[in-house]
Amino acid sequence: MIGLLWFDDSPQRSLKEKVEQAARRYTEKFGRYPNVCYVHPSMLDGDGGSGQALVLELGDVSRRGCPLRLTVRPRRTVLRHHLWVGEEE
């Protein structure tokens, strides 16, 4: 599995903005679109979630004019303020 580890500890950006930036960089680097993002569970809790997976539609990182759908999943092995974006089958 190929992925990109992204760090963002800015309290001014929402989780969605952080994921968009990481997904944009992944696309630039690998020429492919990610479909999953793993984050520390506290990042989902702090964004009003219950610590469970959520699906985001990212308008900034589009695929042929369509929004990119990306699943954000909690993973305790990912450090706080880090996002791991990649592709999952």
Quote the pLDDT of residue 51. Answer: 63
Per-residue pLDDT tens, the chain, 89 aa: give them: 789 999 999 999 999 999 999 998 998 899 888 999 999 999 987 554 556 788 888 776 655 666 788 999 999 999 999 999 999 88
Interatomic CA distance for residues 68 and 61, integer angstroms: 6
Q: Which residues of 8-41 are buried (b: 16+ CB within 10 A; e: fewer)?
A: eeeeeeebbebbbbbbbebbeeeeebbebbbbbb
Quote the pLDDT of residue 68. Answer: 81
The pTM score is: 0.84
- Domain residue spans of the chain: 3-86
Quote the pLDDT of residue 46. Answer: 57
Nearest Cα to 72, choosing from 20, 37, 34?
Answer: 37
Q: Would you state the structure tokens that stand for residue 62, as one six-digit string?
A: 């589009």
